[in-house]
Amino acid sequence: MNLSHRPKRLRKNTAIRNLVRETRLNVSDLICPVFIAEGKNIKREIPSMPGQFHYSIDRLEEGINEIAALEIQSVLLFGLPEHKDESGSRAYAQNGTVQQAVRLVKGKYPELFVITDVCLCQYTSHGHCGIIDNKAIDNDKSVEILAKIALSHSEAGADMVAPSDMMDGRVKAIRKILDENNFKDTSIMSYSAKYASAFYGPFRDAVNSTPAFGDRKTYQMDPANSDEAVREAGLDLEEGADILMVKPAMAYADIIYRFKEKFNVPIAAYSVSGEYSMIKAASRAGFLEEKQAVAEMITGIKRAGADLIITYFAKDIARQL
């Protein structure tokens, strides 16, 4: 056969494959989520997320040590309060779990970039991401509280806040309150396209935030839509977002790609709890090879256009690199 093109030549051996590889994962791409529970002497594995733990403040250092030793540069903190109420008041308490955790982490590891998740669902008795009035979410009241949460995280020393509630106008309100209080350098990573996804299941188990009634479809996005995601992201940028995030990642690679093509700001992707637990469960059952599956999934997310990747596999990947 006289073929003028033989693309397989560039796959012939490891060296040439390494030479022509287009996408490489780096430890510096990764952001590691950390769960902090109220209470004492807790390091408890999360049943729905094998290999992930709840830490209480007094044992948080163990978890952070491990992350820092692997040279992961950034963490995303989630709080798990003991007491929930209608207005999620523990979310903006000065001595709240996340606020204490930020102070501790920034005190011990000033070079670690600390991001906080800004939301209400872990803190409200009804488990919704906003304030409920008459069985419905009151957007504007919720935004006021979200801004207070973001401010309290910034006061504790957070480098960046990440609103994950999907209320309208929250980025604008957060930027405003931060600027007014002289936190001009605290950046905002907006969960711009956060879909109403079944892949958050293990996380809701982990933080006990399954809504007591209804679902999140009136504020999180319809998985069928992508133009709408672009509109959401455009608004977030106008309102002052520094980084746009897509969540989940695996089933939304097209959204990551569209954001990357359209907006010239860093794009983050959140590979969520379901993506993590799915691979963990399948590999434990012997259905697939975990390390390869993880590398392939996360590389795919980067190849789609993600500059920053939030993943529960961060430590595993860092160990492999």
Residue 151 beta carbon to ligand PBG: minimum distance, rounded to whole angstroms: 18
- Distance, CA of 180 to CA of 29 (rounded, Å): 31
Give the total residue count for the chain. 321
Which residue shows structure tokens 């299941």? 201
Residue closer to ligand PBG (CB basis): 59 or 128: 128
User: Least separation, in Å, of the C-beta of 312 and ligand PBG?
Assistant: 7
Closest separation in Å from C-beta 111 to ligand PBG = 25
**Has 40 been annotated as catalytic?**
no
Report the alpha-carbon distance of residue 294 to residue 300 in Å, rounded.
10
Neighbours of 111 (CB within 10 A): 7
Q: How many CB atoms lie within 10 A of CB 241?
A: 25
Cβ proximity to ligand PBG: between 16 and 198 the closer is 198
Q: Is 193 exposed, middle or buried (0-12, 13-18, 19+ CB in 10 A)?
A: buried
CB of 33 to ligand PBG, least distance (A): 7
Query: Which is nearer to ligand PBG, 230 or 269 (by Cβ)?
Result: 269
Phi, psi of 219 (to 5 degrees): -125, -35
Cα 130 to chain center, whole Å?
Answer: 18
Closest CA to 46 of 286, 207, 283, 275: 207
* Number of neighbours of residue 209 by Cβ within 10 angstroms: 23
**Which tokens is 132 given?**
């409920």
Round to whole Å and give the CA distance between 140 and 146: 10
* Torsion 273-275-279-281 (CA) sign: positive
Query: Which residue shows structure tokens 């604008």?
Result: 172
Q: Hey, what amino acid is at 187?
A: S
Token pair for 238: 């106008």
Catalytic residue selected from 194, 260, 280, 302: 194
Sites of contact with ligand PBG (CB under 6 A)? 117, 119, 121, 129, 164, 200, 203-204, 272-273
Min dist. Cβ of residue 59 to ligand PBG (A): 22
For ligand PBG, the nearest residue by Cβ is: 203
Q: Which is nearer to ligand PBG, 121 or 151 (CB)?
A: 121
Smaller CB distance to ligand PBG: residue 253 or 262? 253
The single residue of 12, 106, 108, 247 carrying the catalytic annotation is 247
- C-beta of 18: minimal distance to ligand PBG in Å? 32
Give, rounded to a whole angstrom, the gap between the first and last alpha carbons of the chain: 41
- 61 or 316: whose CB is closer to ligand PBG? 316
Which residues are identified as catalytic? 194, 247
